[in-house]
Every structure is written in structure tokens, then in C-alpha cells.
């Protein structure tokens, strides 16, 4: 069934008699689930491996568009994330409402992915495992303990995206509080007025791209690790079925109470991919350097590989291998492994080396 017609049918079933003549609604999304074997090397005691079924951020997305005339549109998106393995459902994805003009760009308000994941790493595309992404090292600091830009959607965002002006496009975004609801008004002045800012200019050619992302964060409630500064340079070049990229990330964390810098680390990654016919090969090597503000060596290295076969234009299946080697004080783990998509007790302790083998199936609709 046509996606627009299906959306109208769903809405009509939910609200009989409702007139739906003004807005165009489309429904899209992905099912992506894998069978994993996850092992934590160098674990001193307890179980060090498990077999599990893992959701890879499955989602259903509703996009709404209304033509307002004069080249302007009202737009909205509801991004529902669901876990096919456990059945949880929430509007935790990129969810927003705004206006779009052909000549001046797009302004939206809501939740957005900002700053993190800018490196041109394709291993999590199609049926490659999400946990094998270089985000695992690139977007964490403090030896792997602190996520930069939350490594998820930023809350309370006002975002402006330029049109594509030749090879240039860009994003400017501001958040009233990136981590939770606003808490600026208090009786005893025990909190501060936090915010976050992201600037992301991009140059895109026929077979290449280069970009820069700047991130600054101050959460409303000042605490030990609530100030962040991030800088990312990234780009790729593509010829034929080959794609090679590179990214450099410098992240800093400071104490929100004292202003003292507690973490400063640099990371880099080189992702590669090759596609021919229905076959796709992805890989990356990533290195997180030793943090300059910590005493012990908390650096880490990561390498990931995936082979994905396209069963159709919408369905693919893939096998992924990924390994992280932590230095003595490093606690880096695979992306999303310690969150809602991971499993209990599988986070890396200092010096432990996590390894992932996954078979994943993805269907897009």
C-alpha cells in the first residue's frame, strides 16, 4: 500500500469522521534486530560472555507536511523508537515541528541528533551492527566514562538548517537545556541557566564531503561533569564502489561547579567501505588517545568489520565483528551496549576488552 494512503487509513481508523484534507502524512521506518555473542575479555570474576537478541534502534517515523503557499511549508516529525526484542516503545527519536522555505531554509523545535556521530562511518548502515560504530570511542571522554552530547538526541532544541547553497550547507542549533527539562527558576538560586550550542558547516561535492562540528554544553544543574566542549573535523571521498573517510575529534569536560577541566582527549578514525552489486563490506580503525587530565593510561583502540548482503532494496542481512582494546584505565565499551539496547553488567571495567560478533537483519519500509 502507498505510504501516504496507509497513513490516512491508520488515522481514519483511529478517529472516524475526521477530515484529513490539509496535511500530507508519510510513514517510514526500520526493523533491525541481531543475534549477538558478546564477550568481555580480561574480566577477573563472574561470567564474561553471553548470547543475546539485540534490537539495533528499530523505529517508525511519521512525517507531516502542509503547503502554506509562497514556497513555504509546515513540517513535523514523530520518531518512535521501539525494541523488537523486548517490546518497549517511546517517542525518543528525532521529534520536532517547524517551518521550511525554499529560499531561506528550515527552522524546527524539538529533539535532534547534534554533534555526535559526525564521522563518516557506514558500518552501522543497512544490516551492520549498531554497536560496532566508531561512536564507541569517538564520542566518549574521561577514559570512556562520559558521553559527549549525550550520544543521543539533544532535548529542548531550536535548530536552523540552511538550504543547499552550491556545495555549502550548515546547521546552527541551540538548546535551552540539553539534558533534561528547564530548571532556571528557583527560590534559592541553587541552579544555573544552562544551555548548549552546535555549529555544523558542511561542504559537499559530487563524490566528497568535508565538515566541522562545534559543541558547547552547560546543563542547568551544575555538577562534576556538566560542562562540555567538542570539536570534530570529518570528511570522505568516494570513487566507484569505494569510500574512504577520516575524522578527528577533540573533547573536553570541565567541572560545572569549579570550572576545572577534568578531561581532555583526542580521538581519530579511518572508515572504509566497498560496495559491488548486492555485496557491501564496511570497516574502521579508531583510536582514542590517553586523556591529558587523568593520571593513568585510559586510551583505547577499536576495529570493526561487517559484511552485508542485500536481499532486496529494503531488506539486508549482515555479519559483524568488533573488538575494543582498553589500556589499563580505559573503560570504553560498544556504542549502546551499556544503555537501553545493551544488557546488564556488560559494561567495561578498567582494562577490560569487549568483543562483539553479530548476525543482523534489517528491513526498511
Range with the poorest average pLDDT among 170-179, 254-263, 345-354:
254-263
The answer to whether residue 156 scores a pLDDT higher than 50 is yes
Q: Where are the domains of the chain?
A: 47-364
Looking at residue 188, what is its pLDDT?
61
Which spans in the chain are helix H? 3-14, 135-138
pLDDT at 1 over 80: no
Q: In CATH, what number does 47-364 get?
A: 2.40.160.10
Is the pLDDT reported for residue 305 higher than 80? yes
- Tens of pLDDT, residue by residue over 104-132, are 999 999 999 999 999 999 999 999 999 99
Higher pLDDT, 256 or 314: 314
pLDDT of res. 9: 46
Higher-confidence residue of 222 and 344: namely 344
Distance CA 222, CA 219 (A): 6
What's the pLDDT score for residue 183?
A: 73
**What is residue 224's predicted lDDT score, i.e. its pLDDT?**
63
Q: Does residue 10 surpass a pLDDT of 80?
A: no
67 pLDDT exceeds 50? yes
Instruction: Name the more confident of 320 and 43.
Output: 320
Residues 99-111 have pLDDT tens digits of 999 999 999 999 9
**Confidence (pLDDT) at 18:** 42
- Residue 233 vs residue 7, higher pLDDT: 233
pLDDT for 230 equals 98
Residues 6+ away with beta carbon under 8 Å from 180: 155, 219, 220, 221
> Model confidence over 31-43: pLDDT tens digits?
999 999 999 998 8
Q: State how far the Cα of 150 lies from the Cα of 147, in Å rounded to an integer.
A: 5
Q: Give the pLDDT band of residue 3 (cuts 50, 70, 90).
A: low
Question: Are the C-beta atoms of residues 139 and 116 closer than 8 Å to each other?
Answer: yes
| Residue 29: closest CA among 96, 95, 65, 82 | 82
**pLDDT reported for residue 17:** 40
Name the helix (H) or strand (E) containing 111: strand 105-113
Q: Would you say 7 and 313 are in contact if contact means Cβ atoms under 8 Å apart?
A: no
> Chain-wide mean pLDDT for the chain?
92
**What would the mean pLDDT of 335-345 be, rounded to a whole number?**
88
Of 298, 365, 356, nearest to 128 (Cα)?
A: 356
Q: Express each pLDDT in 161-194 by its tens digit.
A: 999 999 999 999 999 999 888 777 776 656 678 8
With b for 16 or more beta-carbon neighbours within 10 A and e for fewer, the 85-114 pattern comes to beeeeeebbbbbebebeeeebbbbebbbbb
Q: What is the mean pLDDT of residues 321-343?
A: 94
User: Do residues 265 and 288 make contact, with C-beta atoms less than 8 angstroms apart?
Assistant: yes
Q: What is the pLDDT of residues 191-221, one digit of tens each?
A: 678 899 999 999 999 999 999 999 999 977 7
Amino acid at each position: 500500500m502507498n505510504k501516504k494512503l496507509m497513513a490516512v487509513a491508520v488515522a481514519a481508523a483511529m478517529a472516524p469522521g475526521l477530515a484529513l484534507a490539509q496535511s500530507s502524512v508519510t510513514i517510514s521506518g526500520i526493523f533491525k534486530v541481531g543475534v549477538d555473542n558478546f564477550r568481555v575479555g580480561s574480566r577477573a570474576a563472574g561470567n564474561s560472555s553471553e548470547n543475546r537478541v539485540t534490537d539495533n534502534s528499530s523505529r517508525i517515523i511519521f512525517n507531516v507536511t502542509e503547503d502554506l503557499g509562497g514556497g513555504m511549508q509546515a513540517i513535523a516529525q514523530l520518531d518512535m523508537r521501539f525494541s523488537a526484542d523486548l517490546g518497549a516503545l517511546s517517542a525518543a527519536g528525532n521529534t520536532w515541528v517547524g517551518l521550511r522555505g525554499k529560499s531561506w531554509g528550515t527552522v524546527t523545535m524539538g529533539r535532534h541528533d547534534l554533534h555526535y556521530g559526525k564521522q563518516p562511518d557506514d558500518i552501522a548502515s543497512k544490516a551492520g551492527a549498531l554497536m560496532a560504530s566508531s561512536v564507541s570511542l569517538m564520542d566518549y571522554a574521561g577514559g570512556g566514562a562520559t558521553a559527549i552530547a549525550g550520544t543521543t538526541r539533544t532535548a529542548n532544541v531550536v535548530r536552523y538548517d540552511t538550504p543547499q547553497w552550491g556545495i555549502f550547507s550548515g546547521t546552527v542549533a541551540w538548546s535551552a537545556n540539553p539534558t533534561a527539562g528547564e530548571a532556571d527558576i528557583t527560590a534559592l538560586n541553587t541552579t544555573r541557566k544552562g544551555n548548549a550550542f552546535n555549529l555544523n558547516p558542511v561542504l559537499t561535492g559530487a563524490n566528497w564531503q568535508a565538515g566541522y562540528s562545534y559543541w558547547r554544553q552547560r546543563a542547568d544543574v551544575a555538577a562534576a561533569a556538566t560542562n562540555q566542549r567538542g570539536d570534530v573535523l570529518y570528511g570522505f571521498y568516494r570513487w566507484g564502489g569505494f569510500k574512504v573517510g577520516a575524522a578527528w575529534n577533540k573533547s573536553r569536560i570541565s567541572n560545572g561547579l569549579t570550572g576545572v577541566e577534568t578531561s581532555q582527549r583526542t580521538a581519530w578514525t579511518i572508515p572504509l567501505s566497498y560496495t559491488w552489486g548486492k555485496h557491501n563490506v564496511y570497516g574502521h580503525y579508531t583510536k582514542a588517545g590517553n586523556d591529558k587530565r587523568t593520571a593513568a593510561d585510559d586510551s583505547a583502540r577499536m576495529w570493526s568489520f561487517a559484511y552485508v548482503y542485500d536481499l532486496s532494496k529494503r531488506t539486508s542481512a549482515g555479519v559483524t565483528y568488533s573488538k575494543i582494546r582498553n589500556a589499563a584505565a580505559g573503560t570504553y565499551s560498544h556504542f549502546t551496549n551499556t544503555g537501553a539496547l545493551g544488557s546488564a553488567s556488560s559494561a567495561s571495567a578498567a582494562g577490560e576488552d569487549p568483543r562483539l560478533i553479530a548476525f543482523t537483519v534489517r528491513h526498511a519500509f
